[in-house]
Amino acid sequence: MSIENIEEAAETAVTEYILAQESKDQLRFLTCGSVDDGKSTLIGRLLYDTKLIFEDQLAALERDSRKHGTVGEDIDLALLVDGLEAEREQGITIDVAYRFFATEKRKFIVADTPGHEQYTRNMATGASTADLAVLLVDARNGLMVQTRRHAFIASLLGIRHVVLAINKIDLVGYSQERFEEIRKEFEVFANGFDFETLQAIPMSARYGDNVTGRSDKMDWYSGPTLLEHLETVQVGEHILEAPFRFPVQWVNRPNLDFRGYSGTVASGQVAVGDEVVVAGPAKQSRVKSIIGASGEVSSARAGEAVTISLEDEIDISRGDLLTSTAHRPDVADQFAAHVIWMSDEPLLPGRSYLLKIGTRTVTATVSEIKHKINVNTFEHVAGKTLTLNEIAFCNFSLSSAVPFDPYEANHTTGSFILIDRMSNSTVGAGMVWFALRRASNIHWQALDVDKKARSEKLGQKPAILWFTGLSGSGKSTIASIVEKKLHIDGRHTYTLDGDNVRHGLNKDLGFTDADRVENIRRVGEVAKLFADAGLITLVSFISPFRSERQMARDLLEDGEFIEVFVDTPIEECRKRDPKGLYAKADRGEIKNFTGIDSPYEAPENPELHIRNVGRDPEEVAEEIIEYLRERGYLNTFSADGEGI
C-alpha cells in the first residue's frame, strides 16, 4: 500500500465514522445533590474519563487547583465545571452550568445545578430540559432533606428517569449493607413519584469506581456503571406517540404563491395529507407540504423544525397551535397550574403578568393561590403570596383563551413562564394541570363583574387624562404620543377627541355655548363608562369652561380624573395654526372661536400644567407617563392586596 492509499483509507474510515455519528443519540441529564455530595466532581470525572479533557485545559486545571482546590495535592475535578469567578471563590455552584461529553453511543448534555434550597429555581431550570436526573447522596449521610427535595422537584418537572448515585462509597468501606439501606429507603420514599426507571449505583466519583469503569472493590454490585446506564436507558419515546401538536412560530410568506407555517413539532407526527385543526377557532385543513431542514419531506415527527403549508387559505399567525383533529388540546382562559416563583419580588394574586406558553404571550393573573408546597416535607400550606423559590398550586386567569395540554402529557404545550411587565424579568415558571370551567370554579363565579374586577383583569387603574387647551396648543399631538406609549407598554386605552365624537355621537351639536356644554357633558359620561370598563381614556377637547370640566370630574371617582392643561399662549397657537382655523376666525368665517370671540377659562389647579412652548412633545408625553407611573396608575394592580 502506498502512502497515498493509506491516507485515503484513513479518510474513508473517518468519513464513515462521521456518517455513523448521524445515528448517535442525545441524552440530556441533570445532576443534583447537596453542596458536598460531589456533583461537580462526578461531572468532572465523566469529562475526564471520556477523554474530552484536553491537555491544556488540564494544565490550567492543575494551576487553578493549587489556588482554589479543596482536595490537597490531587486534581480537583470540580474546578472543571464551576465556571464563574464568584462561585469558584465561594466553592459552591450557584448557577446552572451546561457540560458536554460523548461516547460511541450517545452525546450527553449535563446540567449541573446547585443543591441549596435557595437555588430551587436553578434546579428547576436545569430539570426543565432534562430526560433524566442523577441524584447524588453521600453514603455517609444517607438520604437528607435535600435528597427528598431534589426528587420532588425532578418529579414536579416531569423527569421520569432517576439515578440514585450513592457516592463516596469508599468512605464507608465499600459497604453493601449501607448501599442497600439507602437504596431501600429511597425506593419506599419515591414510590409516590411515579418514576419510570430508578437505578441505584454505588460509586466513588473521586476515584472513579462505577462511574465509567467497573469498580474492583465492589464485587457484590452487578448492576451497570453510571455511564453504561446513561448510554442505554430508553427515554422520551412517549412524546413521539402523543397527539400531534405544532405551535406556529413564524409565518413564512416569500411570495404570493407560498404561505407556510414554521415551527417545531412539539409532539407526535404529521404527514402530507393529514387533517389538522387550529386549536381554538377550530379551523380545519389538510397538510399540503412539509419543508424539513433539508428540503421537502412527506412527514415530520416530534422535535423537528419544519415549515408546513396547508390546502386551505386560513388565517393562522404566530401563537396559534396546529393539532391533530382526533385529539385536541384544552382551550381555556382559566387553568390550574403549579408555579415555581423565581423572583425577589413576591407573586401577588391579582397582579398582571405576561404569560408565555408555546409561542403565545398573553397577560395573566393568579386568581387564587390554592396552596403552597413545603419542598422539604411536601405539606400543603396556605399562603397569600409567593416568595423566591416557593412552589404553589394556583388558579390562573388569562386575558384570552389559549390552547394547552396538561404538563404531564406534554411538556411543551403544558409549560409556561411568567414575565414581570415592568422589569421584563422572568419571574416564574409553571406547569399546567387542568382547565378550570366556570362551573367548577366557584370562587370565580361568586365574584361580581365590576369596575374593580375589570381593571384587575386589565392590570391597570382606570384613569381619564383630560387634555384641555386652546386650538393649536398641541393637545392631540401629545395625547396621541401618550396613547402610543401606553399601548406599547401593554395598557388598554382609548382616545376621545373631536374627530371621533363630533362626527358620530355629537354630530347634532354645534358651537354655541349651550352645545359646547352638552358636548362636554356627553364626553364626560362616555369617559365615565370607559373608566367603569377599566380603560385609561385620553380626552382631548378644548373644553373651555371650568364648570363643565368640573362636571366631568364629579362624574368620576376620586383620583380618576387627571386634568392636563396644555398651556400654549394664543400668539403661539395662532402662529402654529395647523388647521388654518385662526386665519378663518380672523376673517370672520368661524363664529364662537375659543380665544377670539369665545372665552377660554384656564384651569386653576390642574393635575398637570404643561407650558408647551419650545418643548418636545415626546418629552411632554414622557412627563405625563411618569406622572401616571409615580401615582400608581401603571403599577400592575395590587390594590388592597386581596386577590379576585
Partner 1 sequence: MNMQSHGITPERLSNLKRLEAESIHIIREVAAEFSNPVMLYSIGKDSGVMLHLAMKAFYPSKPPFPLLHVDTTWKFRDMITFRDETAARLGMDLIVHTNPEGLEKNIGPFSHGSSVHTHIMKTEALKQALNKYGFDAAFGGARRDEEKSRAKERVFSFRNANHGWDPKNQRPELWNLYNARVAKGESIRAFPLSNWTELDIWQYILTEDIPMVPLYFAARRPVVNRDGMLIMVDDDRMKLQPGEVIEEKMVRFRTLGCYPLTGAIESDADTLPAIVREMLIARTSERQGRLIDKDESASMEKKKREGYF
Active site residues: 543
Residue 448: strand, helix, or coil: coil
Instruction: Decide if residue 121 touches partner 1 (CB under 8 A).
Output: yes
Q: Is 476 annotated as a binding residue?
A: yes
Q: Is 169 annotated as a binding residue?
A: yes
Residue 436: strand, helix, or coil: coil
Our CA angle for 295, 301, 307, nearest 5°, is: 40
User: Which is nearer to partner 1, 263 or 472 (by Cβ)?
Assistant: 263
Instruction: Decide if residue 50 touches partner 1 (CB under 8 A).
Output: no
Residues 174-193 within binding reach of partner 1 (CB under 8 A): none
377 in Cβ contact with 320 (< 8 Å): no
Instruction: Return d(Cα 130, Cα 133) in angstroms, integer.
Output: 7
Residues 496-515 within binding reach of partner 1 (CB under 8 A): none
Question: CA-CA distances (angstroms) from residue 557 to 554, 608, 628?
Answer: 7, 18, 16
Q: Is 40 annotated as a binding residue?
A: yes
Min dist CB 269 to partner 1, Å, is 5
Residues 426-465 within binding reach of partner 1 (CB under 8 A): 426, 429
Min dist CB 202 to partner 1, Å, is 29
Label the pairing between strands 561-567 and 463-468.
Answer: parallel
Residues 536-565 within binding reach of partner 1 (CB under 8 A): none
638 in Cβ contact with 420 (< 8 Å): no
User: Which is nearer to partner 1, 259 or 371 (by Cβ)?
Assistant: 259
Task: Single out the residue of 6, 9, 21, 213 in contact with partner 1 (rule: CB under 8 A).
Answer: 21
Min dist CB 102 to partner 1, Å, is 7
Task: Single out the residue of 204, 363, 412, 493 in contact with partner 1 (rule: CB under 8 A).
Answer: 412
Q: Which residues of 86-112 are buried (b: 16+ CB within 10 A; e: fewer)?
A: ebbeebbbbbbbebebebeebebbbbb
Q: Is 113 annotated as a binding residue?
A: yes
Q: Is 471 annotated as a binding residue?
A: yes
Task: Single out the residue of 2, 5, 222, 294 in contact with partner 1 (rule: CB under 8 A).
Answer: 294
User: Which is nearer to partner 1, 178 or 421 (by Cβ)?
Assistant: 421
User: Which is nearer to partner 1, 400 or 423 (by Cβ)?
Assistant: 423
222 in Cβ contact with 59 (< 8 Å): no
Task: Single out the residue of 214, 283, 288, 301 in contact with partner 1 (rule: CB under 8 A).
Answer: 301
Min dist CB 65 to partner 1, Å, is 12
User: Which is nearer to partner 1, 305 or 381 (by Cβ)?
Assistant: 305
Instruction: Return d(Cα 532, Cα 556) in angstroms, integer.
Output: 9
Task: Single out the residue of 23, 222, 445, 605 in contact with partner 1 (rule: CB under 8 A).
Answer: 23
Instruction: Return d(Cα 286, Cα 220) in angstroms, integer.
Output: 59
513 in Cβ contact with 542 (< 8 Å): no
Instruction: Return d(Cα 622, Cα 431) in angstroms, integer.
Output: 38
Amino acid at 238: H
Min dist CB 523 to partner 1, Å, is 33
Q: Is 510 annotated as a binding residue?
A: no
User: Which is nearer to partner 1, 202 or 260 (by Cβ)?
Assistant: 260
Q: Mention every residue, 6+ apart, whose C-beta is less than 8 A from residue 231.
A: 103, 105, 106
365 in Cβ contact with 638 (< 8 Å): no
Q: Is 469 annotated as a binding residue?
A: yes
Q: Is 168 annotated as a binding residue?
A: yes
Label the pairing between strands 299-301 and 269-271.
Answer: antiparallel
How many residues line the site for partner 1 (CB under 8 A)?
95
3-state helix, strand, coil in the chain (%, to 5): 30, 30, 40
CB burial of residue 602 (10 Å; 0-12, 13-18, 19+): middle
Residues 68-107 within binding reach of partner 1 (CB under 8 A): 81-86, 94-100, 102, 106-107
Instruction: Decide if residue 609 touches partner 1 (CB under 8 A).
Output: no
User: Which is nearer to partner 1, 255 or 605 (by Cβ)?
Assistant: 255
* DSSP strands (E only) in 293-405: 295-297, 299-301, 305-310, 321-324, 330-341, 352-357, 360-373, 380-381, 391-404
Min dist CB 57 to partner 1, Å, is 5
241 in Cβ contact with 324 (< 8 Å): no
Name the one range near partner 1 by CB under 8 A: 11-19, 207-215, 518-526, 591-599.
11-19
Min dist CB 63 to partner 1, Å, is 7
Residues 133-152 within binding reach of partner 1 (CB under 8 A): none
Residues 334-363 within binding reach of partner 1 (CB under 8 A): 342, 354, 356-357, 359
Q: Is 84 annotated as a binding residue?
A: no
Closest CA to 165 of 205, 193, 107: 205
Instruction: Return d(Cα 445, Cα 441) in angstroms, integer.
Output: 6
CB burial of residue 374 (10 Å; 0-12, 13-18, 19+): middle
Min dist CB 516 to partner 1, Å, is 40
Min dist CB 11 to partner 1, Å, is 4
Instruction: Decide if residue 56 touches partner 1 (CB under 8 A).
Output: yes
Instruction: Decide if residue 521 touches partner 1 (CB under 8 A).
Output: no
Task: Single out the residue of 185, 304, 572, 623 in contact with partner 1 (rule: CB under 8 A).
Answer: 304
Alpha-carbon Rg of the chain, whole angstroms? 33
Residues 224-283 within binding reach of partner 1 (CB under 8 A): 236-237, 240-244, 249-250, 252-254, 258, 260, 262-264, 268-271, 274
Instruction: Decide if residue 289 touches partner 1 (CB under 8 A).
Output: no
User: Which is nearer to partner 1, 47 or 523 (by Cβ)?
Assistant: 47
User: Which is nearer to partner 1, 21 or 400 (by Cβ)?
Assistant: 21
272 in Cβ contact with 289 (< 8 Å): yes
Name the one range near partner 1 by CB under 8 A: 148-156, 299-307, 363-371, 622-630.
299-307
Which residue ranges are tagged as binding site for GTP? Answer: 33-40, 112-116, 167-170
Which residue ranges are tagged as binding site for ATP? Answer: 469-476
